[in-house]
Structure 1
Amino acid sequence: MPQSIAEGIATILRDRLAHGVYPPGSWIRESSLAEEFNFSKGPVREALQTLVNEELLVREPRRGVRVVDLSDEEIVEIFQLRLALLELAAELASRHVVPEQLQVARGLLQDMNMALEQGDIDAQMPIGGQLSQWVCNCSGNKRLEQNWSRLTYQTRMYIYASLRSSNDLQRVGQLWHELIDAIAQGKPIDARAAVRGLVRRALDDLGLQSGI
């Protein structure tokens, strides 16, 4: 089913949020977006409300819409949620993955290796998201697969920020390789450990203490 205009605008805005185009706390003007996209305010307003419902934006009466600005404690909390979900997905994937699915993951890892070799952070960032979704898709848990993005989208802007500030992107890539290898070898404990390492690395690069 083709996207509606509002859904298309919401997708663009999600990507901008993840890439830091709109920093936490910044205001997003409905009129500016309507002018940029050359649409009426109706679909723009609908797109913004979608992101408000997803807790990516906050609507303030008589002031407009701004990007959610989480405290350090709140950021840690959403990463703890991400950790719990991805650990479970990794364990389940290590039991259910099939060769055809592994071939997809290996291709994504090759893309990540190429991005790392070229030092292209912008190319690397979405690959991590694709790999996370791949793990969920291989879990055999349909609810987890269907709801992963909705439940963890808030972490995306912070993961991208962590990659930009990381002084060891090679280690991030290595952890992804360890995770896929553990899943391929049917080792749920090692898969969980790799997930924990990825989440801990992201929080460390953000300068946050989590106890993870």
Structure 2
Amino acid sequence: MTDLPDSSAADVALRLENAVGAQERFQIMYSVLRDRICTLVYPPGTQLGEEALAEEFGVSRSPLRKALQILEADGLLQSQQGIGTLVTDVDLDALAQVYQLRLELNELTGRLSPATVDDALLQEFDAMNRRAAVLRAHPDRHEFARLNIDFFHVFQLLSENQPLRDHSEKLFYQTCRIWLTLIPEAALEREVKVFCGEIEEITTAVNSDDLEAAALIRRAHLSMGFKRLRKHRKVDAIA
């Protein structure tokens, strides 16, 4: 499974201290900052100061600046002259085409270089399914966001096509903040139930060694989820 970041300051500093080489240090900083943005630790509009982050991570500003530049290229940050580096806002309309492309890429996951369904892969999905059961019993916005990100990375394991995985990951992180920003509290329990049901359905398909079915289930839920997001936004605008 992908090594997902713990974004706490102490853990990040330790991981950076133990990193082997500049590339690994860059990847740690990039992943941690991206994770913080996408779980709204840094909500839209937050100004990220290079000096403060460099001090927190215990690094020079040069490698940190590289991570910030890549995040800007990903659409998660924006540099404004005289202001600094800001976390971008989430615009559902602007991301509509990204969602359309994600629909197609999710379907390809079941057909391009499909992974071998072995015990290790089954254990990853079973672990996600167990976490989903806990979340369903105790809906929580932060845990919903965390499980959404973690399940994405497990789902990525269904294909061994690296270009597909790379593109899917970039597009996922452009859109995943939408759920935290648009789901009203009154709809959280229902959205958690739907998402946990999706994980259960996909896990069943993987256990049946039917990766195409798993990919189609993911695609269908992504499509339905986008339509629900539009409804949530309309309700919020009226309120």
Same-fold status (TM-score > 0.5): yes
Structure 2 Cα separation of the partners of residues 37 and 133 of structure 1: 25
Equivalent residue for 1:118?
Answer: 138
- 8 Å contact 1:121–1:164 — kept in the other structure? no
Q: Which SS does the other structure have where 1:71 is aligned?
A: coil
Equivalent residue for 1:45?
Answer: 65
- Residue 182 of structure 1 pairs with residue 205 of structure 2: yes
Structure 2 Cα separation of the partners of residues 70 and 162 of structure 1: 9
Structure 2 counterparts to residues 60-139 of structure 1, below 5 A: 60-89=80-109, 91-92=110-111, 96-100=115-119, 101-139=121-159
Change (3 A) 1:81 1:208: farther
Structure 2 Cα separation of the partners of residues 129 and 26 of structure 1: 21
Q: CA deviation at 1:203?
A: 4.9
> When the two structures are aligned, how many residues end up with a matched partner?
208
Structure 2 Cα separation of the partners of residues 182 and 142 of structure 1: 22
Letter in 1 for 2:78: V
Structure 2 Cα separation of the partners of residues 35 and 45 of structure 1: 13
Structure 2 Cα separation of the partners of residues 131 and 187 of structure 1: 15
Letter in 2 for 1:176: I
In the superposition, the TM-score normalised over structure 1's length comes to 0.78
In the superposition, the TM-score normalised over structure 2's length comes to 0.71
Match of 1:2 among 4, 20, 36: 20
Q: CA deviation at 1:18?
A: 0.7
Q: CA deviation at 1:73?
A: 1.3
Q: CA deviation at 1:173?
A: 0.4
Q: CA deviation at 1:109?
A: 0.9
Structure 2 counterparts to residues 189-204 of structure 1, below 5 A: 191-201=215-225, 203-204=227-228
Letter in 2 for 1:92: R
Q: CA deviation at 1:70?
A: 4.3
Change (3 A) 1:120 1:48: same
Structure 1 Cα separation of the partners of residues 163 and 193 of structure 2: 32
Letter in 1 for 2:130: Q
- 8 Å contact 2:158–2:211 — kept in the other structure? no
- 8 Å contact 2:122–2:207 — kept in the other structure? yes
Listed as ranges, the gaps of 5+ residues in structure 2 are: 1-18, 235-239
- Residue 32 of structure 1 pairs with residue 55 of structure 2: no
Please identify, of 117-126 and 187-196, the stretch whose mean Cα deviation from structure 2 is larger: 187-196
The sequence identity of aligned pairs, in percent, is 24
Listed as ranges, the gaps of 5+ residues in structure 1 are: none
> What whole-Å deviation, never above 9, does each CA across 1:151-208 have from its counterpart, x for those lacking one?
4221122244456753411121012211232344327357414432244225524625
> What whole-Å deviation, never above 9, does each CA across 1:94-134 have from its counterpart, x for those lacking one?
x6541322232112211221233233443343333233233
- 8 Å contact 1:183–1:191 — kept in the other structure? no
RMSD: 3.1
Letter in 1 for 2:41: V
